[in-house]
Amino acid sequence: METPLFFVLYLAFIALMLALDLGVFHRKDETISLKNAAIWTFVWIAISLLFGILVWHQMGSQKAVEFYLGYFIEKALSIDNIFVMLLIFTTFGIAAKYYHRILFYGIIGAVVFRFIFIFVAAALIHRFEWILVIFGAILIYSAIKMFLERDVEATIDLEKNKLIRFFKKRGWVTHEIKNHDFFTKINGKILVTPLFLVLLMIEIADLIFAVDSIPAVFGVTRDPYIVFYSNIFAILGLRSLFFIVSHVMNRFKGLKYLLMLLLLFIGVKMIVAYFL
């Protein structure tokens, strides 16, 4: 499972699933119902569990346990990312029927960036093992920061946002949303739509969250392939999980405390394990 051929086949499978998702099952712009989201969440969890069995068959029980732990950690931490995504959508006033398309392309970007992040981090750990201490410190810092800001209501000021100001200053953005396109042509000039700005902000948010989640998974396995496989399966199911959370978000008020404990535990474990 760590050969180039299997890795290419794995990426081909992911590409096929994404193509079926957008090209067959979600061709129309429509609001995703709770039932539809639940079905797709079940499908992605089932595929992930089956892949874990394949890991066990090919690489042994230890690697399978590491895959499932990595998948669980990434899945749990991604829920906090969902709240940020919801905040971005509501701040920009994006219609719910466009959510799935934006998240779809956001997932593609996340796969690319996480591939780079994971294998660069693995190379650094292999060369400089003390980087695990830094990763652990990052997780502890994130847990403390999350605790201190637990009662602070997150907001986005569009007037002060540097990304928005960058595009507005150069006249590259239009405020009109006529369809699901990220770009539009007005008076012969190609401009980005608010949907593209939302996509960029979601990609940036995912990169920020990856700084927490990827080191956390390295806390349970040093195998970059296991980290990558577990990460990708977790974020592929993120879109359907997003719609479930958006329907029942009031029931997740105590989630931050669980995430804080998870980050704190893994951070301390990484540091202690290095010195012992």
- Give the span between the Cα atoms of 169 and 65, in whole angstroms: 50
Alpha-helical (H) ranges within the chain are 4-20, 34-59, 61-92, 99-127, 131-148, 162-169, 194-218, 224-236, 238-248, 255-275
pLDDT at residue 45 greater than cutoff 70 = yes
Look at residue 153 and tell me whether its pLDDT is greater than 80. Answer: no
For the stretch 66-86, pLDDT in tens is 999 999 988 888 877 787 888
Using the predicted structure, report yes or no on whether residue 56 has a pLDDT greater than 90. yes
Mean pLDDT of 89-99: 84
Q: How sure is the predictor about 222, in pLDDT bands with cuts at 50, 70 and 90?
A: confident
Beta-carbon contacts of 184 under 8 Å, excluding residues fewer than 6 positions away, are: 174, 176, 178, 190, 191, 193
CA–CA distance, 56 with 44 (Å, rounded to integer): 18
Residue 28: DSSP 8-state? S
CB atoms within 10 A of CB 36: 17
Confidence of residue 50 (pLDDT cuts 50, 70, 90): very high
Q: How confident is the model at residue 46 (pLDDT cuts 50, 70, 90)?
A: very high
225 CB contacts (<8 Å, ≥6 apart)?
1, 2, 7
pLDDT band at 258 (very low <50, low <70, confident <90, very high): confident
Rounded CA gap, 10 and 16, in Å? 10
